[in-house]
Copies of this chain bind each other. A is one copy, B any other.
Amino acid sequence: MTDWNRMTLAGFQHRLADGELSPLDWWRACRERIDAMDPSLQAWECLAPEPSMAGRDGGQPSNALYGVPVGIKDIIDTARLPTTWGTQGYHHVDGSDMDAAIVTQLTRLGALPMGKTVSTEYAYFQPSRTRNPHDPARTPGGSSSGSAAAVAAGMVPVALGTQTVGSIIRPASYCGVVGFKPSHGTLSVAGVKALAPSLDTLGWFTRHMEDTRTLFTALTGSDPITPLERLEGVRVGLCLVPSTPLPSPDVTAALEGAATRMVELGAHLSPVDLGPTFDDLVTHQKVILAYEAARALASERARFEASMSPALIALLDEGQRLSLSRYWQSRQAADRATLALSQQFAERFDVLLAPSATGVALEGLESTGDPIYSRAWTLLGAPCVNLPLHWTPQGLPVGVQLIADHYQDQRLLSIASALMP
């Protein structure tokens, strides 16, 4: 009996090459699990029909994702599957005009779209119906709610997410999976519903760190990433967060565990206190989000305002009131901070170790949780990865986040691999 939860993308290719498995086996196993679990978890907006492998190239080494089922967050356009953008107003049941660029890239690599995963409304804060696989009374986080939950529940080995505030890292922490946000601009967002383009970043969730390395190499044209086993010579900044909100004791325990392990592996650990800079970056991120969202969603508001949530309307109103000079002030501050952080990285750190969220997943589905600990890194365009390294006695996951300088994605994933071999 195949243990699909332990299967890696590369392992599957080996099993296919050896003739032990067939190209549709993983897809069918995922579909069975979805049929069994999704009535309660509600991670999927829609499901694809069983694909035909006829006419697909198979077995070539370049097809790193051959036969791999993938969940597509429902703010990403698909020509053959409906799209709702997580909204009540928009239901493009016949599929979008075109596939988003990432969908074509994935299918060209052999991946099989499993369906569309539930997103919050326009990938902003209004929660959706998806439940946390580790406790159905809790939120999975958002906005990539369905993608994080689907991967956590073993319904699919890979799912796409996007992050404009904290929409990959936080749900990955709440759901106990690897969540990766590459450097801003690494993957094309053509065909992905824009919220705030200078922040919007496409990334993904996986169960295994190795799979995140495989995806990065396959999708970007990167050289293969060598996983580190030891961390000698690696400089880690333990990032102290602002005192409000204080991270929960669970988060502190997760951070301490990760820090201890990194030191055991040979890393040099030192504290970083961003101080008031952190609060400033949070403010600038909020200004940029509001200004850009009010403009990027102008047509959606004109057509679907009646069904928009009060939270979204408040964001768009706020953005509409902001002056260009206020927006540019925040953009320039972000430019300066990006530069300053780059210098800090060059001189002092390879990666920062920081909380992924303020605590375990919140109870109830009324909120997707506080994205405070992601705002600054998203603003700076830095690559971030959530590592599901800690579980509370109640069995709830608490992730930690590693952050590297812009364009240091490969180094980040190398280092992170030492913690999740």
CB–CB A292/B197 < 8 A: no
A197-B185, A323-B223, A324-B222 known; A332-B407 Cβ under 8 A = yes
A191 is an interface residue with CB less than 8 A from chain B: yes
As a 0/1 sequence over residues 298 to 316 of chain A, the CB contacts with chain B under 8 angstroms (1 = contact) are 1110110000000000000
Indicate whether A129 reaches chain B with its CB closer than 8 angstroms. no
- Tell me which of B197, B323, B328 contacts A407 (CB under 8 A): B328
| A221 B189 Cβ-Cβ under 8 A | no
Closest to A296 in B: B190
Contact B197 A296 (CB under 8 A): no
CB distance from A292 to the nearest CB of B (A): 7
Contacts of A230 in B (CB 8 A): none
Chain B residues within an 8 Å CB radius of A292 = 188
Q: Is A103 in the interface zone, CB < 8 Å from B?
A: yes
| Beta-carbon contact of B298 and A108 below 8 Å | yes
Q: Which residue of B lies closest to A194 (CB)?
A: B190
Question: Cβ of A96 < 8 Å from any Cβ of B?
Answer: yes
- What B residues does A296 contact at CB under 8 A? 101, 188, 190
For A105, A198, A323, A407, the residue with the greatest tally of chain B CB atoms inside 10 Å of its CB is A407
Q: Which residues of the other chain, B, contact A190 by a CB distance below 8 angstroms?
A: 194, 197, 295-299
Q: Is the CB of B221 within 8 A of A299?
A: no
| A273 within 8 A of partner (CB) | no
Q: Interface 1/0s, chain A 71-95, versus B by CB < 8 A?
A: 0000000010000000000001000
Contact of A299 among B101, B185, B322 (CB under 8 A): B101
B residues near A100, Cβ cutoff 8 Å: 299
Alpha-carbon distance A339/B339, docked complex (angstroms) = 9
| Cβ contacts under 8 Å, A223 to chain B | 323-325
9 A-B residue pairs with Cβ-Cβ distance under 8 Å, sorted by A, are A98-B300, A101-B295, A188-B292, A188-B296, A190-B295, A190-B297, A190-B298, A190-B299, A223-B324
